């Protein structure tokens, strides 16, 4: 199951409207302001087997929201855990030759280990086999029974033990008798059971949804649930007698509580419902966050349980999409799961977390492939962010001895980048509050792209060579400030890399909490700060070696022509000796890139419009893994202009770019001097 929260009013906005919450005593004439609370939960996971990358997706997203909210001034409580009862668990334990408790204990260890690997900062880990939970489930069940909303009858119908869900006769017929999630035959059950009066509360729940349109999100899930409720709710079977692994009903011990009724209550039992201090402080939850397949349980059964208890409902139930493979939904039943521990060991923690947060529009389904993971690492982390930091610090070292210079007067382009950077925190805050996590990451990387374009246009290396010291100092200072802001905002998303950025900027070993308050300030980096350029944060990954496990031969030439035809990175071959006459037949010239765009229908091809002095021409090149289109405009590059034209994806490509391999990256050969386009290279 799962829960999560998303408050939208931060401490600063509370102060703006004059709402002060006093806590503690007034001492020496001062008061302390309480932080706004933010209670967030993941689903509690079935410990029937090791968790896969889909489970990691939910938990990483929740952890990221928590990290943002903590930095943004909230008092956060993050709950996760395991749902350990039910017929499915008892059967798995019997098959393994263990008691149910021994079986779940062995799996829970691996789940805790996974959260450690992913550095999940939860505040509590609830297990439904714990005494604190079991005792309160019994109280909740008996309270609703005494109210008259639970009654005894006989159940006969269809059931899936894998998802612990009941199915009506109509559903059984529509599904051809098979569970849609597990593709297994549904079982026919007939047993004495207790039933919960869901039908009694259906109209009240519809009214709540109507008055609170954000209660179920995204909107597609809301519409689906409203339709389901309007079709008519049957009373819910909430006890079983055919197995014993569950919370016993105290007043009728041959019954155990239905696993979903048991598990859903974890969101309040972990807080000490009904009178615990944590419950009084944090309930109701701001958002319950989960995969879309369990939204029905959380947006219908769970709210009605709370209505029967006369307790407040959570503010939001959010069902995100699935992380699926090209072959279909990932599941332990199908055996097509991806192990996140393996991915972290291979690519690093930040890379895996970043991919999960950025690749999939939150709320929609997304396709996972290792190829997509590597492409995202190379394009965003290596080529954009890592390259921005690395080349900025390189210019610092070469032109100012590694010291941050004092800026001069800011020009139009400086001010534009400054405004964009200072506006970023507010933009990302709004996106995070709306749970648009992937958009929040994308917005941050727009500033990364803008900074890369800025450094290309300003060419600080040329300013250094030309002795334009004041202008150079201004450009470098602007870049230092933008990188400071990026490192601060990226903390919840790149939980290791952001701190390393901060350290390389010479701002300290770790990012202090006070840095968050400086996101809307300019001029925080002190002139004279010594930068500490280190190894590249995100080295480019050799795609073939990563995916095939085949080590690539090291490059044996200094410069590599970038093939306009192949979408893959060019293969470097053993050089052969040529005559001077043969070399003189190659017409090498400088060319300025005036426009660039992705070739439609491709991932790695870019169409460049280059000025070679006498004319402008188009060149198609497979460098999209290394450069974004916007980062190329304005560059002066080296081009072979007398290459035979080739028709590529409908574009006539007339020329070839030259590039060099460096630190497993492909880097275009460029001119640092004011050489006009069309100048001959000899």
Task: Verify cis geometry, omega within 30 degrees of 0, for the bond prior to 427.
Answer: no
The token pair at 226 is 């409203």
Count Cα atoms within 13 angstroms, Cβ side, for 60.
30
Q: Hey, which residues are catalytic here?
A: 52, 55, 160, 163, 179, 182, 329, 332
- Three-state DSSP at 200 gives helix
What lies within 8 Å, CB to CB, of 522 at 6+ separation is 418, 422, 481
Alpha-carbon distance of 205 to 211, in angstroms, equals 10
Any idea what DSSP says for residue 46?
P
Length of the chain: 682
| Beta strand segments in 466-580, E | 560-562
The token pair at 160 is 């899936």
The token pair at 548 is 């095939």
Tokens 């929740």 correspond to: 62
Alpha-carbon distance of 514 to 666, in angstroms, equals 38
Closest CA to 570 of 559, 582, 579, 580: 559
Can you say how many angstroms the Cα of residue 451 is from the centroid of all Cα atoms in its chain? 22
Closest CA to 622 of 673, 571, 577: 571
Question: β-pairing, 328-329 with 646-648?
Answer: unpaired
Tokens 């959010």 correspond to: 318
Contact (Cβ atoms closer than 8 angstroms) between residue 396 and residue 533: yes
The token pair at 303 is 């709210």
- Backbone Cα Rg of the chain: 30
Alpha-carbon distance of 490 to 385, in angstroms, equals 11
| Beta strand segments in 622-655, E | 636-640, 646-648, 651-653
């Amino acid at each position: 199951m799962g829960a999560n929260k998303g408050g939208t009013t931060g401490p600063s906005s509370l102060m703006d409207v004059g709402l002060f919450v006093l806590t503690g005593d007034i001492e020496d004439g001062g008061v302390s302001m309480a932080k706004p609370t933010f209670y967030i939960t993941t689903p509690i996971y079935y410990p029937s087997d090791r968790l896969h990358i889909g489970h990691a997706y939910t938990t990483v997203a929740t952890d990221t929201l928590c990290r943002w909210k903590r930095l943004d001034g909230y008092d956060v409580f993050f709950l996760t855990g395991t749902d350990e009862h039910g017929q499915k668990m008892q059967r798995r334990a019997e098959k393994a030759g263990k008691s149910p408790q021994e079986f779940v204990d062995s799996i829970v260890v691996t789940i805790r280990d996974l959260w450690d690997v992913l550095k999940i900062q939860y505040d509590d880990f609830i297990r439904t086999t714990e005494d604190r939970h079991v005792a309160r489930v019994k109280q909740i069940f008996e309270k609703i029974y005494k109210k008259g909303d639970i009654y005894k009858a006989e159940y006969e119908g269809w059931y899936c033990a894998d998802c612990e869900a009941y199915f009506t006769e109509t559903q059984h017929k529509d599904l051809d008798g098979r569970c849609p999630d597990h593709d297994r035959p549904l079982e026919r059950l007939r047993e004495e059971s207790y039933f919960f009066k869901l039908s009694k509360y259906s109209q009240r729940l519809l009214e709540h949804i109507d008055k609170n349109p954000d209660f179920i999100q995204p909107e597609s899930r809301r519409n689906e649930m409203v339709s389901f409720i309007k079709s008519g709710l049957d009373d819910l079977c909430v006890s079983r007698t055919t197995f014993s692994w569950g919370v016993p009903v105290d007043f009728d011990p041959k019954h155990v509580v239905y696993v979903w009724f048991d598990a859903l209550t974890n969101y309040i039992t972990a807080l000490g419902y009904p009178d615990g201090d944590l419950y009084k402080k944090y309930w109701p939850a701001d958002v319950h966050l989960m995969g879309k397949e369990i939204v029905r349980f959380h947006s219908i059964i769970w709210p009605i349980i709370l209505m029967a208890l006369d307790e407040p409902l959570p503010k939001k139930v959010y069902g995100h999409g699935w992380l699926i493979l090209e072959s279909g939904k990932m599941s332990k039943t199908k055996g097509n799961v991806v192990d996140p521990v393996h991915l972290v060991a291979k690519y690093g923690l930040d890379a895996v977390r970043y991919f999960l947060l950025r690749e999939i529009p939150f709320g929609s389904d997304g396709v996972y492939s290792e190829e997509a993971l590597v492409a995202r690492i190379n394009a965003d982390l290596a080529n954009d962010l890592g390259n921005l930091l690395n080349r900025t610090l390189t210019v610092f070292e070469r032109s100012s001895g590694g010291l941050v210079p004092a800026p001069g007067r800011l020009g139009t382009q400086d001010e534009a980048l400054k405004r964009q950077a200072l506006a970023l925190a507010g933009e990302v805050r709004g996106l995070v509050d709306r749970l648009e996590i992937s958009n929040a990451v994308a917005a941050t990387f727009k500033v990364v792209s803008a900074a890369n374009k800025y450094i290309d246009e300003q060419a600080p290396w040329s300013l250094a060579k030309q002795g334009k010291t004041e202008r150079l100092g201004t450009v470098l200072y602007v870049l230092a400030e933008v990188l400071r802001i990026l490192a601060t905002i990226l903390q919840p998303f790149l939980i290791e890399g952001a701190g390393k950025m901060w350290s390389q900027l010479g701002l300290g070993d770790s990012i202090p909490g006070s840095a968050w308050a400086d996101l809307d300030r300019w001029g925080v980096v002190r002139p004279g700060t010594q930068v500490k350029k280190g190894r590249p944060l995100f080295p480019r990954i050799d795609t073939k070696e990563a995916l095939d496990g085949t080590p690539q031969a090291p490059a044996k030439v200094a410069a590599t022509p970038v093939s306009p035809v192949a979408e893959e990175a060019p293969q470097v071959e053993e050089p052969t000796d040529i005559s001077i006459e043969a070399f003189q037949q190659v017409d090498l010239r400088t060319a300025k890139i005036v426009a660039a765009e992705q070739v439609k229908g491709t991932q790695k091809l870019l169409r460049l419009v280059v000025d070679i002095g006498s004319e402008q021409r188009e060149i198609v090149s497979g460098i999209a893994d290394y450069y974004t289109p916007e980062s190329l405009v304005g560059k002066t590059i080296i081009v072979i202009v007398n290459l035979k034209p080739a028709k590529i994806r409908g574009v006539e490509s007339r020329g070839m770019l030259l590039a060099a391999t460096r630190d497993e990256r492909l880097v275009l050969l460029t001119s640092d001097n004011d050489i006009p386009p069309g100048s001959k290279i000899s």
